[in-house]
Amino acid sequence: MGEQVTHRKVALVTGANKGIGRGVAEQLAGLGMTVLVGARDPRRGEEAAAALRAGGGDVHAVTLDVTDPVTVREAAEQVEERFGRLDVLVNNAGITGSGQVSPEDAHDQVPSSVDLDMVRAVFETNVFGVIAVTNAMLPLLRRSPAPRVVNVSSHAASLTITSDPEGPFAALLPSAAYSPSKSALNALTVHYANELRKDGILVNAVAPGFVDTDSNAHTGFLTVAQGAAVVVRLATLGADGPTAGFFGEEGPVPW
């Protein structure tokens, strides 16, 4: 298989068996890339990969739980053995910490009464998991002629937007878990970008917008395809593209 696809760019998308991740995987496959669907559940990952293959994509499932170092290491080994390099890493896997409700509507995230174990769990996936996967894949990304890393963030990560008493989030409940985890992810994005800038590895954060997915109980108004589009754009930047940025479909998002 490796010989058949070495001419294609290889992309890994974490949390790609559903939602925005799956949409990103589908669009990258549509651009002719070999796409690895990272999923915690092997069955769900394979079902998603099979469906995307049925649509004509060169798509393969990879068992990957970003909070499990064993699966992270094994995923990197699989990419090494099958393809020898990685061109695109999309760190999409994330949790809200509030079940099937929008994090902004979650009473259990109000800072003064939040459960610290829940906060730790959210950061474990949304921040520490990104570090684990990125570091495991960096040796493979360095072998790419045009490596790109995209971290899927949120408009809720923006301190500028969320601190505005007249802003779009003013009526929503404060969050001590999800929103701060995405703010931390943005900070992490900048520091990875600064470290890797000299190596030509472009690293950016993306806010897909309020997309209709399981994570917000399907209350979003954007389609998965619309949310995935900006992620794909940053995953396919040219050599003169930005790094250390935060972007939405509307353009740069304020920190």
Where residue 248 sits, what CATH number does that domain have?
3.40.50.720
Q: Domain range for residue 235?
A: 2-252
pLDDT at 225: 83
Q: What is the DSSP letter of 71?
A: H
From the first residue on, what is the mean pLDDT of each consecutive set of 10 residues in the chain (255 residues)? 62 96 96 98 97 97 98 98 98 86 72 96 98 98 98 96 91 92 98 98 93 49 80 97 96 96
Which of 183, 131, 189 is closest to 14 using CA atoms?
A: 131
Which of 132, 126, 186, 179 is closest to 156 using CA atoms?
A: 179
192 is catalytic: no
Which of 152, 40, 166, 41 is closest to 88 using CA atoms?
A: 152
pLDDT at 233: 96
Rg of the Cα atoms in the chain:
17
- Both structure tokens of 193: 């970008």
DSSP for 178-213 reads HHHHHHHHHHHHHHHHHHHGGGT-EEEEEE--SB-S
Catalytic residue among 18, 182, 192, 198: 182
At residue 101, the 3 state secondary structure works out as coil
Single-letter amino acid code for the residue at 165: P
pLDDT at 3: 42
Which of 70, 59, 64 is closest to 22 using CA atoms?
A: 59
Q: In whole angstroms, what is the distance from residue 165 CA to residue 168 CA?
A: 9
Which residues are CB-contacts of 165 (< 8 A; sequence separation ≥ 6)? Answer: none
pLDDT at 7: 74
* Cα of 149 vs its chain's centroid, Å: 9
178 is catalytic: yes
Q: In whole angstroms, what is the distance from residue 84 CA to residue 77 CA?
A: 9
What is the tally of structural domains in the chain?
Answer: 1
CA distances from 74 to 59, 129, 211, 250 (A): 18, 15, 31, 37
At residue 11, the 3 state secondary structure works out as strand
30: number of Cβ within 10 Å: 14
pLDDT at 4: 42
Q: In whole angstroms, what is the distance from residue 72 CA to residue 199 CA?
A: 23
Q: What is the pTM of this model?
A: 0.92
Catalytic residue among 9, 18, 178, 198: 178
* Cα of 160 vs its chain's centroid, Å: 22
- Both structure tokens of 240: 């003169």
At residue 102, the 3 state secondary structure works out as coil
pLDDT at 216: 47
Contact between 97 and 215 (Cβ < 8 Å): no
